[in-house]
Amino acid sequence: MISRRALLLAATPPFRWRMPDETTPHKRTWMTFGAHQNIWGARLIAEVQRELATIAETIARFEPVSMLVEPTVRKEARQLLPATVEQIAAPLDDLWARDTAPVFVFGAAKNKAAVDLNFNGWGEKQPHDRDAEVASFIARRAGAARLQSDLVLEGGGIEVDGQGTAVIAESCVLNDNRNPGVTKADFERAIRPLLGLEKIIWLPGVKGHDITDGHTDFYARFAAPGVVLCGDDPADPITKQHLKILKAATDAAGRALEVVPLKAPTKPRNRFQSKDLAVGYVGFYACNGAIIAQEFGDAKADAAALATLRKLFPSRQIIQLNCDALAAGGGTVHCVTQQEPA
């Protein structure tokens, strides 16, 4: 683990850490096959496992995938996962690698480190003793120095452009269930040197709206520096507020953002009745040469999202998958993946 002195040095330019954006080349994708029936229920568990396997198999066509597998579901993993996906036994509580895995950063000398964000079950909402160890486990497997943050947050709460700009939702990180008493200024002082941030664009998000308290990656994502995709859902008024904030914002380079709305489907399939249903196109994952996105059975909205993604990522193959069970659990393709940059 990196010492506190090293972290202080990292805060002093020119030696600092920098989190690359998701579209930079990856060494691999990390995922976690840890869905338990006590969390997902008998109705969803088998379909969730199949969807995880489909996502992993799809990504593995473009880059290596390393899947942590909870020993109690090793049989299911062996049956569902292809040989192209590396399986690594590890104790797990659930499957949300975006939040439990570390985020990777580079130093000025191109040395790689893994930032442990102290996962606490999204504010103690779910058992997480085993998932709290995933970040350090992956850091060791990746051979990356582990940076221990003083903050409690999740990878899904952070969206970066790789050039010093981040979009972060207040509702999840400035929340007493994660960082009691921490002000916006306190948070910025702590997070800037860890991720190499010069500008944070704050979105309000919604506390208590879902288990994550409104993760950024459901609302806004960088397609490129200066270009942000933003969810646009008439049924969710907060998206209008987010669009307004982003359209008025500038990035670390002083550029006004180009904001591209991604309209949510209005007639999605409803295979799984769920109060946690997450329906929207912002939760895509950018792997080497491809964008792995979701489709919801709304032909018009699915086609519009596909066209937008093709326009913004012309050099990548756009693949839409049916992930209805994950959506019923409040998640997206992005939520079950975490990139390790090359």
302-329: burial string, b at 16+ Cβ within 10 Å, e else: beebbebbeebbeebebbbebbbbbbbb
Which of the following is catalytic: 172, 230, 323, 335? 335
Residues 337, 340, 341, 342, CA torsion sign: negative
N-term to C-term CA, the chain: 21
Residue 303 CA from chain centroid, whole number: 24
Q: Which helix (H) or strand (E) holds 156?
A: none
Is 335 in the active site?
A: yes
Residues forming a β-bridge with 114: 104, 146
Rounded CA-CA distance 162/165 in Å is 7
Picking from 291, 269, 293, 267, the residue whose alpha carbon sits closest to that of residue 281 is 293
Contact 92, 40 (CB under 8 A): no
Q: Any idea which residues carry the catalytic annotation? A: 335
